[in-house]
Amino acid sequence: MSDGTAATEKRRGILAWIERTGNRLPDPVFIFFYLIGILIVLSVIAAVTGWSAAHPTEIDEATGAARIISAESLLSANNIQRLWVEMPTTFTHFHPLGFVLVVMLGAGVAERCGLFGTAMRAGVRNAPTNFLTPVVALAAMLGNLAADAAYVVLIPLAGVIYAAAGRHPIAGIAAAFAGVSGGFSANLLPGSLDALLFGITQAAVETVFVGWEANIAGNWFFIVAMTCIFLPVIWYVTDRIIEPRLGTYTPQGQAAVAAGQPLPSAEAEADDHADIDAPLTPEQKKGLRNAGLAVLGIVGLWVFFTVGPGTPLIDEEAPIPEARLTPFYNSLVAAFFVLFLAAGWAYGRAAGTIGDHRDLVKMMTDSMADLAYYLVLAFAAAHFVAMFSWSNMGLILAVKGADGLQALALPAPLLLAMVVIFTGLLNLFVGSASAKWALLAPVLVPMLMLLGISPEMTTAAYRVGDSATNIITPLMVYLPLVLVFCQRWLPDFGIGSLLATMVPYSVWMMVMGIVLVIVWVAFGIPLGPGAEVFTELPVTP
């Protein structure tokens, strides 16, 4: 992008304003620290003014009435003691932390050994021209399990494949970007994102009552439906709107790409994948076969644990039938760790990317190194969530917010549509999915629970809004990389051109996502195994 183009984009337009405003925001870690400071001040004011609410699930044995919950100052002796004495456990007991670390130990191996990248290349290389877009879009959404690899492998590969098929390469890049980032939550399998979000959801639920257990598969059916809805959306927008708008491709950059010239410096992060358009080697093909067998083996093992002798993943003594599968749901974090680890090992040994157990350990170690920033963010978020709970302000806000919404008598589909829209707008300014959910969940989840909407449904609505606007926020960390991929084919393609290309995807995905949420709630479709749209809160003495 030329300096003149960049300056023009920064001087005008709503997207330029969003970019400037978002860049002025502090790092999400410090956003949490600032919010903790504000929370302390508000807790003192709330405690002094006697702010309170009736607990929705607990009964005072002495009076027979609902127990009254009063706001507590975070500067009280008890809360100051809790802050300093319980700091290690506040951090290590933050539910998303364990979920994400365990899943990423396995997923990191599958990514670093090359399994994810090879699988994506194999999935799109031989796609028929007429069905190129849906194949690319589906591979992109499934590629979310591969995190960074989906951006640095599949997006540039889509441009190469489209050009080879006589189609506009920018259309291929746009379709892949829409699938990877706009379809961020869509998939056929739960993954690390599910572990992350449901860990935060569980921490939010516990501000109301203890006992609800997060289920990593709590949105499984919903994210499969998202995939089925977003796939035709990306297909339609790419083939009917974007590619006709791009016009006939003039191969300005095709010669350079075909000649195998080095990638621009901004693509340094993708250097390891410079051979993305090379055919698969026999070793890679064998690795994919072995990985497939490993996946089948792990699935079979978990089926055996569930229905085999002794049924270790079934609670035969559960008081209600719905709770019998709780051990199975809780085991899914470990299941995905073992699945990714086994598939990565099987692929790596055949493809030659894993020599012995030391390589495996190094890949697991490197995957933990990549989570260093997340650990810092989790430390700040854990203390914000914990202190919000200590002050009782989260519960009081949830009760009073629920009372207000109940007075408005808004139907559940409309409430959740509002959650989708609000999340999508907030995503333009705060890019991190975990940071946004850690901010919103402590109020949204309990408040909607008190109206009978399950934590799983609130989480699902959040995911729709968080996905749809990923591709049009200038704060998206991979936006510059995608821009450089485009400039390999059209050197004058600027950030304004990229954002304008992605806006139709964002609008259609937002609209169809809201329709999906409304239909889901209207028909009360289960969100995943054991996860319903509506919930009932137990009343405990």
Domain ranges of the chain: 3-43+84-523
Residue 459 has, within 13 A of its CA and on its CB side, a CA count of: 32
Between 76-90, 269-283, 503-517, the lowest mean confidence (pLDDT) is in 269-283
Structure tokens at 127: 């796609």
What is residue 251's predicted lDDT score, i.e. its pLDDT?
61
Three-state secondary-structure class, residue 534:
strand
Q: How far apart are CA 86 and CA 394, in angstroms?
A: 20
Q: How far apart are CA 159 and CA 178, in angstroms?
A: 13
Q: Which H/E stretch holds residue 494?
A: none
Percent of the chain with pLDDT over 70: 84
pLDDT at 321 over 70: no
The confidence band for 512, taking pLDDT boundaries of 50, 70 and 90, is very high
State the distance between the two ends of the chain, measured CA to CA, in whole angstroms: 65
What is residue 106's predicted lDDT score, i.e. its pLDDT?
87
What is residue 296's predicted lDDT score, i.e. its pLDDT?
95
The confidence band for 538, taking pLDDT boundaries of 50, 70 and 90, is low
Q: How far apart are CA 536 and CA 33, in angstroms?
A: 34
Distances (CA, A) of 508 to 175, 301, 512: 13, 40, 6
pLDDT at 415 over 60: yes
Q: How far apart are CA 122 and CA 289, in angstroms?
A: 12
Q: Which segments within 433-472 are labelled E, that is strand?
A: none
Report the mean per-residue pLDDT for the chain. 81
Between 122-136, 313-327, 478-492, the lowest mean confidence (pLDDT) is in 313-327
Between 165-179, 425-439, 507-521, the lowest mean confidence (pLDDT) is in 425-439
Quick one: CA dihedral 282, 284, 287, 289, positive or negative? negative
The confidence band for 149, taking pLDDT boundaries of 50, 70 and 90, is low
Q: Which whole number is the average pLDDT over 208-228? A: 86
Angle of CA points 10, 15, 17, to nearest 5°? 60
pLDDT at 20 over 80: no
Q: Which H/E stretch holds residue 57?
A: strand 52-59
The confidence band for 208, taking pLDDT boundaries of 50, 70 and 90, is confident
The confidence band for 266, taking pLDDT boundaries of 50, 70 and 90, is very low
What is residue 319's predicted lDDT score, i.e. its pLDDT?
58
What is residue 516's predicted lDDT score, i.e. its pLDDT?
97
What is residue 488's predicted lDDT score, i.e. its pLDDT?
82
Instruction: Pick 143 or 90 by higher pLDDT.
Output: 90
What is residue 175's predicted lDDT score, i.e. its pLDDT?
95
What is residue 277's predicted lDDT score, i.e. its pLDDT?
58
pLDDT at 346 over 80: yes
What pTM was computed for the model?
Answer: 0.72
Q: How far apart are CA 160 and CA 164, in angstroms?
A: 6
Question: Tens digits of per-residue pLDDT, 78-107?
Answer: 999 999 999 999 999 877 688 778 888 888
Quick one: CA dihedral 183, 188, 193, 196, positive or negative? positive
Distances (CA, A) of 498 to 147, 242, 491: 21, 11, 12
pLDDT at 160 over 90: no
Question: Tens digits of per-residue pLDDT, 238-250?
Answer: 999 999 988 877 6
Amino acid at 430: V
pLDDT at 19 over 60: no
Three-state secondary-structure class, residue 2:
coil
If you search the block for the tokens 């969003």, which residue do you land on? 18
pLDDT at 526 over 90: yes
279: how many CB neighbours lie within 10 A of its CB? 9
373: how many CB neighbours lie within 10 A of its CB? 12
If you search the block for the tokens 């079979």, which residue do you land on? 300
Q: Which H/E stretch holds residue 531?
A: none
Instruction: Pick 82 or 159 by higher pLDDT.
Output: 82
> Which residues is 52 bridged to in the sheet?
70
What is residue 18's predicted lDDT score, i.e. its pLDDT?
56
Instruction: Pick 89 or 148 by higher pLDDT.
Output: 89
Q: How far apart are CA 142 and CA 139, in angstroms?
A: 5
What is residue 69's predicted lDDT score, i.e. its pLDDT?
83
Q: How far apart are CA 19 and CA 316, in angstroms?
A: 55
Highest mean pLDDT among 18-27, 34-43, 129-138, 391-400: 34-43
Q: Which whole number is the average pLDDT over 21-42? A: 82
The confidence band for 529, taking pLDDT boundaries of 50, 70 and 90, is confident
The DSSP result for 333-386, as a single string, is HHHHHHHHHHHHHHHHHHHTS--SHHHHHHHHHHHHHTTHHHHHHHHHHHHHHH
The residue count for the chain: 541
Q: Which whole number is the average pLDDT over 403-408? A: 75
Backbone angles phi, psi at 270, to 5 degrees: -100, 10
